[in-house]
Amino acid sequence: MSTDGTSRAAPAVGPVLLLSVEPPVFLTGIPYDDYLGVARTFAEKFGNVDAGFIVFPTWSLEQRGLARAVKERHADHTARFPRHVFRFICNTVREAELLQEQELPAEFLNKNFMVSDSIFRPLPEVQVEFDAIYNARFVPDKRHELATLIPRVGYVAYVEPEAHRVAEFSTIYGATLARSPRHVLLNEMHDGRPVPMTHDRVNAAQARGAVGLVLSAVEGSSYCSMEYLLAGLPVVSTPSLGGRDVYFDPEFCIVCPPDRAAVRDAVLELKARKIPREVVRLRTLDKIAPKRARFLELIDEVLHELDAPRRFAGRPWRHAGSGVRWGYYTSHLEVFVQAKRSELARKVGLASVKP
């Protein structure tokens, strides 16, 4: 869906994670108006075969008409592909209620538990240089102007390659530096654009800040808010839709009014509390541990409905990535095809033979 809630042609790109090869089960996001994620493209390629899809919103569903649109798409799809099984996990209680009101199989299970605690972790050897770190695209929705009064801010950013996005970055970034000369972009620059950082480099950049910022009014669950917490940073947020505050702890998270002075004061307050980073991290891990366990149970429930053995519940959490990777659906399905070939090779004793 679009960030303003309007309908937009589905670009066949979105976040997908392959959970099971046989039968295929995917974790897949709702981008733009592709309300069932990768399911449509999967159906076009493989047809009505046993398959499961655990679907999550990438943007707030608490907008007029969206739950009904998801319902209509689900009804049309399952009528044509009855062997496809769906579950919806929602980032807020209200999102779950909205889908449940449409008689969709939905539950409240905020997806920020997917962020990797092996990648995002405290780095005590890194010196803190900035009062705050803000990991966000330079777009109007992120409201960089609210950070103006914070003395020192380090920014982590990326920009899409489209010309209007590059121009937007240049305008907002230029205005940010003009307002606050001591604010710094931590990415390297190439051809006027920030070079994207690896997750490890993002974690290292975050370690240079005392507090993490999240300042938009509406978005999805905001992986970066969880990345801050797992890295041990307290968080300053403004009120928002989308569910980024679900795992917040009032001891080290402040939700303040969307006002420059309020944001500055919240940052200075959290700095003054001097909460050890390991405390922030460990308390956050305690919050997400039962959610990870529930997600593994949910995969087993989908497998059971597909008449396949349960095999996830009770296993250690092993997801090594941060969040769920975006890409073209065709590329995600190629990963599935390659994994299926490898699985078949393993079953017939040909695992050492290149498929």
179-232 pLDDT, tens digit per residue, is: 999 999 999 999 888 999 999 999 999 999 999 999 999 999 999 999 999 999
Angstrom distance (rounded) from CA 145 to CA 124: 30
Q: How far apart are CA 305 and CA 83, in angstroms?
A: 10
The total number of structural domains in the chain stands at 2
Confirm whether 313 is domain-assigned. no
**249 and 186 within one domain:** yes
In a domain, 306, yes or no: no
Confidence (pLDDT) at 142 = 96
pLDDT band at residue 89 using 50, 70 and 90 as cut-offs = very high
**Which of 228, 258, 283 is where one domain is finished?**
283
* Whether residues 147 and 248 fall in one domain: yes
Measured CA to CA, the distance from residue 1 to residue 30 in angstroms comes to: 7
Handedness of CA 48, 95, 102, 68 (dihedral sign): negative
CB 131 within 8 A of CB 267: yes
Residues 167 and 279 in one domain: yes
Per-residue pLDDT tens over the stretch 29-61: 998 888 999 999 999 999 999 999 999 999 999
Q: Which of 283, 309, 339 is the last residue of a domain?
A: 283
Do 193 and 273 belong to one domain? yes
Q: How far apart are CA 122 and CA 347, in angstroms?
A: 41
Tally the residues of the chain: 355
Judged against a pLDDT cut of 50, whether residue 143 lies above it is answered with yes
Is 156 inside any structural domain?
yes
Please report the pLDDT score of residue 342 as a whole number.
87
Nearest of 106, 5, 88, 6 to residue 39 by alpha carbon: 88
Query: By the 8 A CB rule, do 25 and 312 touch?
Result: no
Cβ burial, residue 318 (10 Å; 0-12/13-18/19+): exposed
Amino acid occupying residue 245:
D
E strand map for 77-127 = 84-90, 106-108
Where does a domain end: 283, 308, 338? 283
DSSP state for residue 162 in the 8-state scheme: S
Q: Is residue 47 assigned to a domain?
A: yes
- Residue 90 β-bridge partners: 108
Residues 20 and 63 in one domain: yes
Q: Are residues 150 and 245 in the same domain?
A: yes
228 and 145 belong to one structural domain: yes
302 found inside a domain: no
Q: For position 320, what pLDDT does the model report?
A: 65
Residue 93 shares a structural domain with residue 225: no
- Using alpha carbons only, give the angle 137, 139, 140 rounded to the nearest 5 degrees: 140
- For a pLDDT cut of 70, what percent of the chain falls above it? 94
What pLDDT, on the 0 to 100 scale, is given for residue 160?
84
Per the domain annotation, does 206 fall within a domain? yes
- Mean pLDDT of all residues in 330-351: 82
Shared-domain flag, residues 96 and 188? no
Print the domain residue range for 254: 132-283
Q: How far apart are CA 205 and CA 332, in angstroms?
A: 29
Give the pLDDT of residue 349.
Answer: 64
The reply to whether 303 falls in a domain is no
Same domain for 59 and 142? no
Judge if 165 and 237 occupy the same domain: yes
pTM over 0.85: yes
pLDDT of residue 10 exceeding 70, the answer is no
pLDDT of residue 71: 97
* pLDDT at residue 33, rounded to an integer: 85
